[in-house]
A and B are shown apart, each in its own frame.
Chain A
Amino acid sequence: MIEPLDPHDPIAEVEALIRAAGNYVQPSDDLRPRVMEAVRAERVERTVRWRICQAAVLFFVLNLLATSTLHNVEIADGASLPVQRADGSSETLSTVEEESWDTVEAFRELRRRQAYLLRLQL
Protein backbone atom coordinates (compact mmCIF):
# COMPACT_ATOMS: atom_id res chain seq x y z
CA MET A 1 0.00 0.00 0.00
CA ILE A 2 0.99 3.67 -0.01
CA GLU A 3 3.89 4.24 2.34
CA PRO A 4 4.65 7.91 2.89
CA LEU A 5 8.16 8.73 4.05
CA ASP A 6 6.81 10.74 6.96
CA PRO A 7 3.27 9.79 8.02
CA HIS A 8 2.73 13.23 9.56
CA ASP A 9 3.84 15.15 6.48
CA PRO A 10 0.85 15.66 4.14
CA ILE A 11 3.15 16.62 1.26
CA ALA A 12 5.08 13.35 1.59
CA GLU A 13 1.76 11.53 1.63
CA VAL A 14 0.62 13.32 -1.56
CA GLU A 15 3.96 12.53 -3.20
CA ALA A 16 3.40 8.86 -2.41
CA LEU A 17 -0.13 9.05 -3.89
CA ILE A 18 1.20 10.65 -7.07
CA ARG A 19 4.05 8.14 -7.32
CA ALA A 20 1.55 5.28 -7.09
CA ALA A 21 -0.48 6.74 -9.98
CA GLY A 22 2.57 6.80 -12.25
CA ASN A 23 1.47 4.02 -14.59
CA TYR A 24 -2.22 4.85 -14.59
CA VAL A 25 -2.19 6.73 -17.91
CA GLN A 26 -1.02 4.69 -20.89
CA PRO A 27 -0.56 5.26 -24.61
CA SER A 28 -3.46 4.03 -26.73
CA ASP A 29 -2.99 0.74 -28.60
CA ASP A 30 -2.86 2.42 -32.00
CA LEU A 31 -0.07 4.87 -31.13
CA ARG A 32 2.77 2.50 -32.02
CA PRO A 33 1.45 1.60 -35.50
CA ARG A 34 0.60 5.26 -36.06
CA VAL A 35 4.14 6.40 -35.24
CA MET A 36 5.71 3.65 -37.35
CA GLU A 37 3.43 4.42 -40.28
CA ALA A 38 4.18 8.16 -40.02
CA VAL A 39 7.91 7.45 -40.00
CA ARG A 40 7.60 5.05 -42.96
CA ALA A 41 5.46 7.51 -44.95
CA GLU A 42 7.93 10.28 -44.32
CA ARG A 43 10.83 8.08 -45.44
CA VAL A 44 9.02 7.23 -48.68
CA GLU A 45 8.20 10.90 -49.26
CA ARG A 46 11.80 11.89 -48.61
CA THR A 47 13.08 9.18 -50.99
CA VAL A 48 10.70 10.34 -53.75
CA ARG A 49 11.70 13.98 -53.20
CA TRP A 50 15.39 12.97 -53.33
CA ARG A 51 14.89 11.02 -56.57
CA ILE A 52 13.08 13.98 -58.16
CA CYS A 53 15.94 16.27 -57.13
CA GLN A 54 18.49 13.83 -58.57
CA ALA A 55 16.55 13.59 -61.85
CA ALA A 56 16.28 17.39 -62.07
CA VAL A 57 20.02 17.83 -61.47
CA LEU A 58 20.85 15.10 -64.00
CA PHE A 59 18.55 16.70 -66.59
CA PHE A 60 20.13 20.12 -65.98
CA VAL A 61 23.68 18.78 -66.27
CA LEU A 62 22.88 16.81 -69.43
CA ASN A 63 21.18 19.85 -70.94
CA LEU A 64 24.19 21.99 -70.10
CA LEU A 65 26.58 19.44 -71.64
CA ALA A 66 24.50 19.07 -74.78
CA THR A 67 24.24 22.85 -75.25
CA SER A 68 27.97 23.43 -74.77
CA THR A 69 28.89 20.55 -77.11
CA LEU A 70 26.61 21.90 -79.84
CA HIS A 71 28.03 25.42 -79.38
CA ASN A 72 31.62 24.11 -79.73
CA VAL A 73 30.72 22.25 -82.92
CA GLU A 74 29.20 25.43 -84.36
CA ILE A 75 32.31 27.48 -83.57
CA ALA A 76 34.65 24.85 -84.98
CA ASP A 77 32.69 24.34 -88.17
CA GLY A 78 31.38 27.89 -88.56
CA ALA A 79 33.82 28.93 -91.37
CA SER A 80 32.90 26.07 -93.67
CA LEU A 81 29.13 26.06 -93.12
CA PRO A 82 27.33 25.73 -96.46
CA VAL A 83 25.20 28.73 -97.49
CA GLN A 84 22.32 28.25 -99.87
CA ARG A 85 22.19 30.95 -102.54
CA ALA A 86 19.03 32.23 -104.23
CA ASP A 87 20.02 30.73 -107.59
CA GLY A 88 20.21 27.27 -106.02
CA SER A 89 24.01 26.94 -105.87
CA SER A 90 25.67 26.57 -102.47
CA GLU A 91 29.02 27.89 -101.26
CA THR A 92 30.97 28.04 -98.04
CA LEU A 93 30.61 30.99 -95.67
CA SER A 94 34.11 32.40 -96.40
CA THR A 95 33.37 32.78 -100.17
CA VAL A 96 30.09 34.50 -99.39
CA GLU A 97 31.84 36.93 -96.99
CA GLU A 98 34.39 37.92 -99.74
CA GLU A 99 31.59 38.53 -102.21
CA SER A 100 29.53 40.54 -99.77
CA TRP A 101 32.39 43.12 -99.46
CA ASP A 102 32.37 43.45 -103.28
CA THR A 103 28.66 44.27 -103.08
CA VAL A 104 29.37 47.01 -100.52
CA GLU A 105 32.06 48.50 -102.77
CA ALA A 106 29.72 48.43 -105.76
CA PHE A 107 26.96 50.11 -103.76
CA ARG A 108 29.34 52.88 -102.57
CA GLU A 109 30.48 53.45 -106.19
CA LEU A 110 26.82 53.78 -107.30
CA ARG A 111 26.07 56.35 -104.54
CA ARG A 112 29.18 58.34 -105.50
CA ARG A 113 28.06 58.44 -109.16
CA GLN A 114 24.52 59.50 -108.15
CA ALA A 115 25.96 62.33 -106.02
CA TYR A 116 28.15 63.52 -108.93
CA LEU A 117 25.13 63.58 -111.32
CA LEU A 118 23.07 65.45 -108.75
CA ARG A 119 25.80 68.11 -108.38
CA LEU A 120 25.90 68.58 -112.21
CA GLN A 121 22.13 69.12 -112.34
CA LEU A 122 22.36 71.86 -109.69
Chain B
Amino acid sequence: MGANQEFSDRVRLCAEQLADHGADALGALFDLTSNRLVRFAAALTRHQHDAEDAVQAALTRLARQPQALARVDCPWAYLLRMVRNEILTMIRRGQRLTTSGSIADLVTYCPVDEAEREESHRAVWQALRSLPPEQAEVVVLKIWEGMTFAQIGEVLGTSPNTAASRYQYAMIKLTRRLAREQPEVHRD
Protein backbone atom coordinates (compact mmCIF):
# COMPACT_ATOMS: atom_id res chain seq x y z
CA MET B 1 0.00 0.00 0.00
CA GLY B 2 2.99 2.27 0.75
CA ALA B 3 4.30 2.01 -2.79
CA ASN B 4 0.86 2.73 -4.18
CA GLN B 5 0.45 5.74 -1.90
CA GLU B 6 3.82 7.00 -3.07
CA PHE B 7 2.73 6.51 -6.66
CA SER B 8 -0.53 8.40 -6.00
CA ASP B 9 1.47 11.26 -4.49
CA ARG B 10 3.68 11.42 -7.57
CA VAL B 11 0.59 11.52 -9.80
CA ARG B 12 -0.73 14.39 -7.68
CA LEU B 13 2.56 16.24 -8.13
CA CYS B 14 2.32 15.76 -11.91
CA ALA B 15 -1.30 16.96 -11.80
CA GLU B 16 -0.19 20.14 -10.04
CA GLN B 17 2.56 20.70 -12.62
CA LEU B 18 -0.01 20.14 -15.35
CA ALA B 19 -2.27 22.75 -13.77
CA ASP B 20 0.63 25.22 -13.52
CA HIS B 21 2.32 24.68 -16.88
CA GLY B 22 -0.56 23.40 -19.01
CA ALA B 23 -0.20 20.69 -21.62
CA ASP B 24 3.59 21.14 -21.70
CA ALA B 25 3.78 19.10 -18.49
CA LEU B 26 1.82 16.21 -19.97
CA GLY B 27 5.01 14.31 -20.89
CA ALA B 28 5.93 13.77 -17.25
CA LEU B 29 2.45 12.48 -16.45
CA PHE B 30 2.61 10.17 -19.46
CA ASP B 31 5.98 8.77 -18.43
CA LEU B 32 4.72 8.11 -14.93
CA THR B 33 1.34 6.57 -15.70
CA SER B 34 1.31 5.17 -19.24
CA ASN B 35 2.40 1.62 -18.26
CA ARG B 36 -0.32 1.29 -15.66
CA LEU B 37 -2.97 2.98 -17.77
CA VAL B 38 -2.28 0.78 -20.79
CA ARG B 39 -2.28 -2.38 -18.70
CA PHE B 40 -5.61 -1.39 -17.11
CA ALA B 41 -7.08 -0.52 -20.50
CA ALA B 42 -5.69 -3.69 -22.13
CA ALA B 43 -7.37 -5.83 -19.47
CA LEU B 44 -10.67 -4.13 -20.31
CA THR B 45 -10.49 -3.86 -24.10
CA ARG B 46 -8.47 -7.07 -24.62
CA HIS B 47 -6.61 -5.34 -27.42
CA GLN B 48 -3.44 -3.27 -27.39
CA HIS B 49 -4.53 -0.74 -30.04
CA ASP B 50 -7.89 -0.12 -28.39
CA ALA B 51 -6.19 0.25 -25.02
CA GLU B 52 -3.72 2.77 -26.40
CA ASP B 53 -6.46 4.66 -28.23
CA ALA B 54 -8.37 4.97 -24.95
CA VAL B 55 -5.27 6.19 -23.09
CA GLN B 56 -4.50 8.67 -25.87
CA ALA B 57 -8.07 9.98 -25.87
CA ALA B 58 -8.07 10.38 -22.09
CA LEU B 59 -4.75 12.24 -22.03
CA THR B 60 -5.75 14.46 -24.95
CA ARG B 61 -8.97 15.29 -23.13
CA LEU B 62 -6.92 16.05 -20.02
CA ALA B 63 -4.67 18.42 -22.00
CA ARG B 64 -7.80 20.43 -22.86
CA GLN B 65 -8.52 20.99 -19.15
CA PRO B 66 -5.15 20.78 -17.39
CA GLN B 67 -6.60 22.05 -14.10
CA ALA B 68 -9.17 19.26 -13.83
CA LEU B 69 -6.79 16.64 -12.43
CA ALA B 70 -5.34 18.89 -9.72
CA ARG B 71 -8.82 19.76 -8.43
CA VAL B 72 -9.87 16.21 -7.51
CA ASP B 73 -9.18 14.36 -4.26
CA CYS B 74 -7.43 11.41 -5.86
CA PRO B 75 -5.92 12.26 -9.27
CA TRP B 76 -4.82 8.67 -9.95
CA ALA B 77 -8.33 7.26 -9.44
CA TYR B 78 -9.70 10.10 -11.59
CA LEU B 79 -7.26 9.28 -14.39
CA LEU B 80 -8.22 5.61 -14.29
CA ARG B 81 -11.88 6.61 -14.44
CA MET B 82 -11.18 8.83 -17.44
CA VAL B 83 -9.56 5.95 -19.33
CA ARG B 84 -12.42 3.65 -18.36
CA ASN B 85 -14.97 6.20 -19.61
CA GLU B 86 -13.11 6.44 -22.93
CA ILE B 87 -13.28 2.65 -23.25
CA LEU B 88 -17.01 2.65 -22.48
CA THR B 89 -17.50 5.36 -25.11
CA MET B 90 -15.56 3.29 -27.64
CA ILE B 91 -17.65 0.22 -26.86
CA ARG B 92 -20.88 2.24 -27.13
CA ARG B 93 -19.78 3.59 -30.52
CA GLY B 94 -18.88 0.07 -31.65
CA GLN B 95 -15.27 1.07 -32.19
CA ARG B 96 -13.83 -2.02 -30.56
CA LEU B 97 -11.57 -3.63 -33.12
CA THR B 98 -11.46 -7.20 -31.91
CA THR B 99 -12.52 -9.59 -29.18
CA SER B 100 -9.91 -12.17 -30.05
CA GLY B 101 -8.74 -14.39 -27.21
CA SER B 102 -5.15 -14.36 -28.48
CA ILE B 103 -2.61 -12.19 -26.72
CA ALA B 104 -0.39 -11.96 -29.81
CA ASP B 105 -1.33 -8.31 -30.33
CA LEU B 106 -0.06 -7.25 -26.91
CA VAL B 107 3.25 -5.43 -26.62
CA THR B 108 5.06 -7.35 -23.91
CA TYR B 109 8.31 -7.03 -22.03
CA CYS B 110 10.05 -9.65 -19.98
CA PRO B 111 13.52 -9.04 -18.46
CA VAL B 112 16.16 -11.62 -19.35
CA ASP B 113 16.39 -12.84 -15.75
CA GLU B 114 12.65 -13.53 -15.75
CA ALA B 115 12.56 -15.31 -19.10
CA GLU B 116 11.53 -18.60 -17.54
CA ARG B 117 8.42 -16.88 -16.13
CA GLU B 118 7.23 -15.54 -19.46
CA GLU B 119 4.96 -18.56 -19.99
CA SER B 120 3.36 -17.89 -16.63
CA HIS B 121 2.83 -14.20 -17.50
CA ARG B 122 1.26 -15.16 -20.83
CA ALA B 123 -1.05 -17.61 -19.07
CA VAL B 124 -2.09 -14.90 -16.60
CA TRP B 125 -2.96 -12.45 -19.38
CA GLN B 126 -4.74 -15.16 -21.37
CA ALA B 127 -6.83 -16.02 -18.30
CA LEU B 128 -7.45 -12.34 -17.50
CA ARG B 129 -8.72 -11.71 -21.00
CA SER B 130 -11.18 -14.56 -20.71
CA LEU B 131 -12.94 -12.82 -17.80
CA PRO B 132 -15.88 -10.46 -18.30
CA PRO B 133 -14.45 -6.89 -18.39
CA GLU B 134 -16.21 -5.87 -15.16
CA GLN B 135 -14.41 -8.69 -13.32
CA ALA B 136 -11.07 -8.15 -15.07
CA GLU B 137 -10.99 -4.46 -14.09
CA VAL B 138 -11.56 -5.30 -10.43
CA VAL B 139 -8.68 -7.78 -10.49
CA VAL B 140 -6.36 -5.20 -12.09
CA LEU B 141 -7.30 -2.49 -9.61
CA LYS B 142 -7.07 -4.82 -6.61
CA ILE B 143 -3.86 -6.67 -7.39
CA TRP B 144 -1.83 -4.31 -9.57
CA GLU B 145 -3.04 -0.98 -8.23
CA GLY B 146 -3.33 -2.20 -4.63
CA MET B 147 -6.67 -0.47 -4.13
CA THR B 148 -9.19 -1.28 -1.44
CA PHE B 149 -12.68 -2.36 -2.48
CA ALA B 150 -13.96 1.06 -1.38
CA GLN B 151 -11.46 2.78 -3.70
CA ILE B 152 -12.29 0.35 -6.51
CA GLY B 153 -15.97 1.11 -5.98
CA GLU B 154 -15.21 4.82 -6.41
CA VAL B 155 -13.32 4.28 -9.66
CA LEU B 156 -15.99 1.98 -11.10
CA GLY B 157 -19.01 3.74 -9.67
CA THR B 158 -20.20 0.66 -7.77
CA SER B 159 -20.50 -0.28 -4.11
CA PRO B 160 -17.51 -1.87 -2.33
CA ASN B 161 -19.59 -5.04 -1.87
CA THR B 162 -20.20 -5.33 -5.61
CA ALA B 163 -16.49 -4.86 -6.25
CA ALA B 164 -15.65 -7.51 -3.64
CA SER B 165 -18.07 -10.03 -5.06
CA ARG B 166 -16.81 -9.45 -8.61
CA TYR B 167 -13.30 -10.03 -7.32
CA GLN B 168 -14.33 -13.29 -5.63
CA TYR B 169 -15.96 -14.60 -8.82
CA ALA B 170 -12.99 -13.52 -10.90
CA MET B 171 -10.48 -15.22 -8.62
CA ILE B 172 -12.44 -18.48 -8.65
CA LYS B 173 -12.45 -18.44 -12.47
CA LEU B 174 -8.79 -17.45 -12.69
CA THR B 175 -7.74 -20.17 -10.26
CA ARG B 176 -9.60 -22.76 -12.34
CA ARG B 177 -8.16 -21.50 -15.63
CA LEU B 178 -4.62 -21.08 -14.40
CA ALA B 179 -4.73 -24.52 -12.80
CA ARG B 180 -5.34 -25.91 -16.28
CA GLU B 181 -2.49 -23.86 -17.76
CA GLN B 182 -0.15 -24.04 -14.77
CA PRO B 183 -0.59 -27.37 -13.00
CA GLU B 184 1.78 -26.29 -10.20
CA VAL B 185 -0.88 -23.87 -8.96
CA HIS B 186 -2.94 -26.83 -7.81
CA ARG B 187 -0.29 -29.30 -6.92
CA ASP B 188 -1.38 -30.81 -3.59
A residues bordering B, Cβ < 8 Å? 2, 10-11, 13-15, 17-28, 31-32, 34-36, 38-39, 42-43, 46
Contacts and interface: CB of A to CB of B under 8 A. Distances in A.
B125 interface: yes
Contacts of A21: 120-121, 124-125
B96 to A, nearest CB: 18
A27 B109 CA distance: 10
A22 B111 CA distance: 13
Contacts of A18: 124, 128, 139, 143-144, 174
Residues of B contacting A: mostly: helix
Contacts of B123: 17
A26 B107 contact: yes
A28 B107 contact: yes
Closest 8 CB pairs of A and B: A21-B124, A21-B121, A24-B121, A27-B38, A39-B63, A26-B109, A28-B107, A27-B34
A28 B186 CA distance: 34
B39 interface: yes
B108 A39 contact: no
Contacts, number: 107
Nearest to A32: B30
Interface in B117-151: 117-118, 120-125, 128, 139, 143-144
A42 B178 contact: no
Interface of B: 23, 26-27, 30-31, 34-35, 38-39, 42, 48, 52, 55-56, 59-60, 63-64, 106-110, 117-118, 120-125, 128, 139, 143-144, 171-172, 174-175, 178-179, 182, 185-186
Contacts of B179: 10
Contacts of B60: 35, 38-39, 42
Given A23-B109, A26-B109, A27-B38, A17 B185 contact: yes
29 contacts: A2-B120, A11-B171, A14-B171, A14-B174, A14-B178, A17-B120, A17-B123, A17-B182, A18-B174, A20-B117, A20-B124, A21-B120, A22-B39, A24-B118, A25-B48, A27-B34, A27-B107, A28-B52, A28-B107, A31-B38, A31-B52, A31-B55, A32-B30, A34-B52, A35-B26, A38-B56, A39-B23, A39-B26, A42-B63
A35 B28 CA distance: 12
Contact of B30 (A2, A26, A35): A35
A109 to B, nearest CB: 80
B56 A26 contact: no
A21 B125 CA distance: 8
B56 A35 contact: yes
Contacts of A35: 26, 30, 55-56, 59-60
Contacts of B107: 25-28
A113 B63 CA distance: 88
